[in-house]
Structure 1
């Protein structure tokens, strides 16, 4: 039985929707936050997962990328937000809080602050499930991700930056937040080919039912159905040429920060089932 990781945030649902609504007997779905799925894939506890895209560059000899599927944005992403008491270009040598739930977005923020703006903040980690606002507790800025960020209403006077929007304005490229990563030992198997077909079918099925699903899952994700639907429709789920270019550019920048080894090309999974 193939073991598939599923990000608990609403942004993963459009690709996995049919697999969640209509469970398959040949598939075990493991739901968690991104950082937990990253660790589970590394330990071999799951076979495939939409893991933080930075993980691919960190495990390029062990993982392969499923073609065609991604969680990405070409401009604003709405759910990766830097909230700050100061303008973004004034964050040098101040405390910036990073969520333990994230990997890719943390490195993305580093590229934007350090490489784009030439800043060197003092980073610290926090659990974004905690009630205390890190800025009220002495930090100058805080990164929030996922549905926590999507539901967040910043207090008056705060600066809020959408990292997807800042990235695209800087690079002219979309950003791949998560790619479906495959452990090498299941690459090329018939089971992987079947799963890949199921993912493409699920994404297509979601497109035909997204309005109904937004109404049915609004309470689950803790937001109004129209907000959820607009969010889903704003994201990109196809790993096309531009999205690949954005991913490779991000990996090059991450390597310059010693966050991962250089990755010159995406290591594709064999989904032919041969």
Structure 2
């Protein structure tokens, strides 16, 4: 009887298309079952050992580093503008003191980053509530609408130039202004437990690097595929992909370690974890 394929998590956002398109279309052969979900859902599946490999939030690794290995030289982040992680507000951020900011349960890293930036960078104190950001983007005059909202992924891309939530704060830009370093929103990690139970016949780092490198070498094909699936112009897609980094080099690791240090200082995690990298097969 054939062994089931090890399962690999794939965030349902445009930003990871350059990693997975070649895997999804067979241009990079692989032996994984791709599992799709929101970042928080994939985090939960990784916690429970339901996935062998996944793109997961930087905060998920920080909270449970003993469960994971980080795949080397693979991440999703930005050196400044990211476009898809935004605080959209009815007023300038400096005027948000005492007001309500709505955040989604779909993201962990972006929420903790926003808390740090508002408190220690912008020096404003807000009230955070969890709820449906999409509802208020479409009905901004609905009673109870917040002063500002954190929007991520494709929702953030659609929220640019919103007529009511017209003040935009790009969290990648603000982190760079605060620290001078790039920010890493997500990592690709291997579940130590699931890797033992499911077995990994193929090195996931090699598979995912091959997917990324194929996209770099075939950007016109990738852009055409993105236009078939998403309602954005070629120019908008080029701008977006240009903002994103899929590397985890020395500078990205410096930024990630600083983020973890500041999370620990803020009491969001017990201590800043070491970066434990996948040893390979």
- TM beyond 0.5: yes
Q: TM-score, normalising length from structure 2?
A: 0.90
Superposition deviation, residue 190 in structure 1 = 7.5
Equivalent position of 2:148 in the other structure: 141
Find the aligned partners of 1:136 and 1:249 in 2 and give their Cα distance.
39
Q: Note if 1:253 corresponds to 2:253.
A: no
- SS of the residue 1:191 aligns to: coil
Contact 1:74 1:174 in 2 (8 A): yes
Contact 2:23 2:30 in 1 (8 A): no
Find the aligned partners of 1:246 and 1:12 in 2 and give their Cα distance.
20
Contact 2:89 2:165 in 1 (8 A): no
Contact 2:88 2:165 in 1 (8 A): no
- Specify which of 93, 99, 102 is matched with residue 97 of structure 1: 102
Contact 1:210 1:229 in 2 (8 A): no
Equivalent position of 1:230 in the other structure: 239
Q: Note if 1:12 corresponds to 2:12.
A: no
Superposition deviation, residue 213 in structure 1 = 1.7
Find the aligned partners of 1:227 and 1:24 in 2 and give their Cα distance.
30
Superposition deviation, residue 148 in structure 1 = 0.8
Contact 1:134 1:142 in 2 (8 A): no
- Specify which of 217, 221, 226 is matched with residue 208 of structure 1: 217
Give the stretch that moved more between structures: 22-31 or 229-238.
22-31
Superposition deviation, residue 223 in structure 1 = 1.6
Find the aligned partners of 2:110 and 2:16 in 1 and give their Cα distance.
15
- Specify which of 64, 67, 74 is matched with residue 62 of structure 1: 67
Contact 1:99 1:128 in 2 (8 A): yes
Output one character per residue of 1:75-111: Cα deviation in whole Å (capped at 9) or x when no partner: 0000011111121122222100001211100001001
Equivalent position of 2:92 in the other structure: 87
State how 1:14-29 maps to structure 2 within 5 Å. 14-22=18-26, 24=29, 26-29=31-34
| 5+ residue gaps, structure 2 | none
Say if 1:64 and 1:131 are closer, same or farther in 2 by CA, change over 3 A.
same
Say if 1:40 and 1:89 are closer, same or farther in 2 by CA, change over 3 A.
same
Find the aligned partners of 2:164 and 2:93 in 1 and give their Cα distance.
16
Superposition deviation, residue 156 in structure 1 = 5.9
Superposition deviation, residue 209 in structure 1 = 1.3
Find the aligned partners of 1:32 and 1:89 in 2 and give their Cα distance.
35
Find the aligned partners of 2:14 and 2:273 in 1 and give their Cα distance.
31
Superposition deviation, residue 71 in structure 1 = 0.4
Find the aligned partners of 1:132 and 1:242 in 2 and give their Cα distance.
35
Give the stretch that moved more between structures: 241-250 or 131-140.
131-140
Q: Note if 1:169 corresponds to 2:177.
A: yes
Q: Note if 1:128 corresponds to 2:136.
A: no
Superposition deviation, residue 135 in structure 1 = 5.0
**CA RMSD, 1 decimal:** 2.0
